[in-house]
Amino acid sequence: MRAWFWLTVVLPLGISPPLRADEADDLLAQRMAAIVRDFRQPLATRVEAARTLEKLGPRGAVAVNDLIAVLDRLRGTEQEPLQEAIVEALGQMGSKAKAALPALARAVHRTADLDLAIKNSTAAILAASDSQDIDALTFQLTSRDASLRLRAAKALGDLGAVARTAVPGLTQALKDPDADVRRAAITALRAIEPNAAPSEALIRAIAEDLRDPDPNRRLAAVRTLGQIGPPAAIVAPALEALRADPDADVRRAAIAAFARVLAPPLPLP
């Protein structure tokens, strides 16, 4: 199969006038993309073409839009080997495949193997961007895959103040059903705007851990709310309840935090 494939598809490149390396790469990528797009071709041939694009990596980036179009057209487990090959090819194209992130997010939950490929390729694309594409990371906060949302929230927090445009998306992530994503969004927002007054949404998101079965989680939340002080008075009843917590460390911290959040604000100078 492989010998026939290269003889019939790649060899014709040799009869053309000499090309620069980048032109040859583009031409090869375009030929491979045309095969991947062609639903009349045997599945194995189309998969082989996608694997060739994977080997080209960033040099095959001219095929990104074609790969996106085919991935979006396929549904469920339809031609799963081709879907997986397309996803893995996009991952090898690095930052040049950033335009594929929405399509990768849409393809989640088709099969377990495909989900793993999507997760790996998404991580590779974002890592190749040196995590500087804030728009791409913000978009990943809406992924159906909690692990991708978590990675995006952490990466945005690592960027600090330069990720200020991600604040609305991170604020929405404070309501994420996954507790780890919610905590990562809290950490990211505090890293991006360390001097900003904590919003009600942020305070209530922190307070969610006051009900966590893990005493260490409860303790961390109590201490954080105590550090925030009077603005955290909106969750004072929840703090007050923890003054009777079965964990002694949580009880002590809750007593101290409750006093701080109810303390009168300092007078303006």
pLDDT tens-digit profile of 103-154?
999 999 999 999 999 999 998 888 775 545 788 889 889 998 888 899 889 9
What's the pLDDT at 186? Answer: 97
pLDDT over threshold 50, residue 13? no
Determine the structural domain holding residue 46 and report its residue range.
1-128
Inside any domain, residue 269: no
pLDDT over threshold 80, residue 92? yes
pLDDT over threshold 50, residue 3? no
What digits encode the pLDDT tens for the residues 14-73?
445 555 666 788 899 999 999 999 999 999 999 999 999 999 998 899 999 999 999 999
Do 52 and 118 fall into the same domain? yes
Please give the residue that has the higher pLDDT: either 21 or 228. 228
Inside any domain, residue 174: yes
Q: In sequence order, which residues have a C-beta less than 8 Å from that of residue 238 and are 6 or more positions away?
A: 207, 210, 211
Ranges 10-14, 197-201, 234-238: which has the least confidence: 10-14
| Residue 162: band (very low, low, confident or very high) from pLDDT cuts 50, 70, 90 | confident
- What mean pLDDT value characterizes the chain? 88
Q: Which two tokens stand for residue 19?
A: 């090309």
Using the 3D structure, point to which of 196, 212, 232 is the last residue of a domain.
Answer: 196
What's the pLDDT at 218? Answer: 97
Nearest to 148 by CA among 175, 181, 176, 171: 181
What's the pLDDT at 267? Answer: 52
**Residue showing tokens 């959040």:** 261
Using the 3D structure, point to which of 165, 196, 227 is the last residue of a domain.
Answer: 196
pTM for this structure? 0.56
Is there a contact between 62 and 30 (Cβ–Cβ < 8 Å)? yes
Portion of the chain with pLDDT greater than 90, in percent: 71
Count helices and strands in the chain by DSSP H and E runs: 15, 0
| Residue 265: band (very low, low, confident or very high) from pLDDT cuts 50, 70, 90 | low
Mean pLDDT of 95-100: 88
Dump the DSSP string for 80-123. HHHHHHHHHHHHHTGGGGGGGHHHHHHTTTS-HHHHHHHHHHHH
Portion of the chain with pLDDT greater than 70, in percent: 88
Give the CA distances from residue 243 to residues 193, 204, 224, 239, 246, in Å, rounded to whole numbers and listed in that order: 31, 18, 16, 7, 9
What digits encode the pLDDT tens for the residues 71-83?
999 988 889 999 9
Is there a contact between 83 and 114 (Cβ–Cβ < 8 Å)? yes
Task: Tell me the CATH number at 145.
Answer: 1.25.10.10
Do 11 and 115 fall into the same domain? yes
The CA distance from 83 to 68, in Å, is 10
What's the pLDDT at 129? Answer: 59
Do 52 and 165 fall into the same domain? no
Q: Which two tokens stand for residue 154?
A: 């952490």
Do 235 and 192 fall into the same domain? no
Do 2 and 62 fall into the same domain? yes
Q: How many structural domains compose the chain? A: 3
**Residue showing tokens 């491979």:** 32
